[in-house]
Amino acid sequence: MENTLNVMLIDRSMLLDILLAVILGFAIGFEREITNKWAGLRTHILVCLGSCIFTLLSIHAFPVFAHSPQADPARIAAQILTGIGFIGGGTVLRHGYSIYGLTTAATLWITASIGMACGCGFRTLGVFATVIAVSVLVLIRIFEKEYLHRGSKNPKRIKVSFLCAGDNADEIYSKLVSKFQNLSEINAKQVMNEAKTKIDFTACIYDRSPLKYMHNELKNIEGIESVSMQELYD
């Protein structure tokens, strides 16, 4: 009877750890989701959940060897870091001299550590680490936009799309290439059944108000119409 009660308590404790891992993974993933990152809610929830479960297995799944001198309950959990390295590497992209996605890779790394904390039963540590991680992602971004907008390592990426008359497309294309020295990509495509061309480009802007700056630059180019602009975040 006592053994059955202990098993029930362990199972309930595990379920609480797993549930907390899902909640904390959601908290970090939500911040990534609202900033339009490829690794968002589902990825961070699953990373945190998986790390928690692997840690629980590492601790509880091999009771036969629990008291063996060769026992190493951290062996499985240690491999989590290797797996997260592969996932994080897939989120890092390079465009020319710029590298994007490092912050998202770091959030996956910290999310895995939070999941491991939950699996070890350190719930307070997991919650505290999540609060710190989300605060860093939100507050430091505000600080960067306010004070570091002129830094050479902190350009603002602006994605622009617009239509123009097909006859003026080549001239406008050339003006864009000469006006914006930090273009990471530019494409021109003929609109079907219309005598118009759609041009898309992404530029790095060193200005506190990048959208306003881009608007002022484009309004001096004749032939541009139906402009759409979006600031991209890391």
**Predicted TM-score of the model (pTM):** 0.63
SS3 224: strand
Write out the two tokens for 211: 């959208």
172 falls in which pLDDT band (50, 70, 90)?
confident
8 falls in which pLDDT band (50, 70, 90)?
very low
Q: What is the CA radius of gyration of the chain?
A: 25
C-alpha pair distances (Å), 43 with each of 53, 67, 101, 112, 131: 15, 36, 14, 11, 19
The torsion defined by the Cα of 206, 207, 208 and 213, in degrees rounded to 10, comes to -140
Residue 127 confidence (pLDDT): 96
Q: Could you tell me which residues come within 8 angstroms of residue 113 by beta carbon, excluding any fewer than 6 positions away?
A: 51, 129
Residue 6: is its pLDDT beyond 70? no
The one-letter amino acid at 22 = V
Round to whole Å and give the CA distance between 106 and 129. 13
Round to whole Å and give the CA distance between 175 and 117. 54
| Ordered alpha helix ranges (H), the chain | 2-34, 41-60, 74-89, 102-119, 123-147, 169-179, 210-218
Q: Could you count the other beta carbons within 10 Å of the beta carbon of residue 209?
A: 13
Region of poorest pLDDT, from 35-39, 147-151, 216-220: 147-151
Write out the two tokens for 66: 């629990």
Long-range contact list for 167-172, CB < 8 A, 24+ apart?
Answer: 167/195, 168/222, 168/223, 169/197, 169/199, 171/223, 172/199, 172/221, 172/223, 172/224
Write out the two tokens for 46: 């699953």
Round to whole Å and give the CA distance between 133 and 151. 23
60 falls in which pLDDT band (50, 70, 90)?
confident
